[in-house]
Amino acid sequence: MSAVPSPALPQQTAAEQVRSVLARALSLSLTLDGRTYDLLGAHTIGARGRITLHPPADTPLTDHLAASPAGGVEARVDLTDIAPTALRDRVRARVALTGRLAPATPGDPGSLRLDLTRVTLRTGTGTTEVAPGAYTLASPDPLALEEAALLTHLADAHPDLVSDLVFLAGSRLPHGVVRALPLAMDRHAVTLRCEYGEGHCDLRLLFPAEARDAAAAGDMVRRLLTAPRCAHHHDHH
């Protein structure tokens, strides 16, 4: 069972989601000519989302690149966004970026830029094509880099708060929840995964105001729990 975000509630655009996934990604897969290479800590994201790869020396990948045309080669970069908490079905999104891979600096094969031609985002709600222009103009969510720490802290140090947050759904949440854990957090909301004996549903609780940093996000969670019940906006599936 997966979430289908309500268009009536503020949420990240698909381009922002992609930029957020890239901002926190530590690894990616690179596919060239049907061969796939897993790279860990070998990429940087620059201004306007420019992706630069720094392939390790003396590996099959560098040999492959050395044999490629001087003008570059078609390539695909794949990233998987995984929830930092130990819940069911931890894959939150998959991003595929297709383009031409060429030296970032002419004559220097140590750094390669990916000139995008296609960006695809896959989540539990379906697949979205993101225009490369929209991707370059978007920014990561301001909580993207701190999200993992925020969610694991909420799950490990404040399980009572998680239970209280689930209670906010009231009768709108089906009975029989056996466990609830934080799934995601952005500037607009916190999302909890409510697990049942079989299956799960996701509960998205909209913050009273946008959270621009980690301190504000913590404050927004507390305000959710102290605000009048009628003031809460949420979406569950």
- The CATH number that applies at residue 60 is 2.30.110.10
DSSP tag of 55: P
| Residue 28 sits in the same domain as residue 60 | yes
Task: With H, G, I as helix, E, B as strand and everything else as coil, classify residue 69.
Answer: coil
Is 6 inside a domain boundary? no
Tally of structural domains, the chain: 2
Q: Report pTM.
A: 0.90
| Residue 186 sits in the same domain as residue 86 | no
DSSP tag of 174: P
Is 142 inside a domain boundary? no
Structure-model confidence comparison of residues 38 and 58, the more confident one: 38
| Residue 155 sits in the same domain as residue 48 | no
pLDDT confidence of residue 63: 84
| Residue 162 sits in the same domain as residue 128 | no
| Residue 30 sits in the same domain as residue 126 | yes
| Per-residue pLDDT reduced to its tens digit, 202-222 | 999 999 999 999 999 999 999
Is 92 inside a domain boundary? yes
Nearest to 166 by CA among 206, 203, 195, 197: 203
Contacts of 32 (CB under 8 A, 6+ apart): 64, 65, 68, 73, 74, 75, 101
The pLDDT of 110-125, averaged and rounded, is 94
Nearest to 125 by CA among 30, 7, 36, 233: 7
pLDDT confidence of residue 191: 97
Is 104 inside a domain boundary? yes
Task: With H, G, I as helix, E, B as strand and everything else as coil, classify residue 10.
Answer: coil
Backbone angles phi, psi at 70, to 5 degrees: -60, -30
| Residue 69 sits in the same domain as residue 96 | yes
Q: Which domain holds residue 34?
A: 14-137
pLDDT confidence of residue 157: 96
* Domain stop point among 137, 161, 189: 137
| Residue 118 sits in the same domain as residue 36 | yes
pLDDT confidence of residue 229: 54
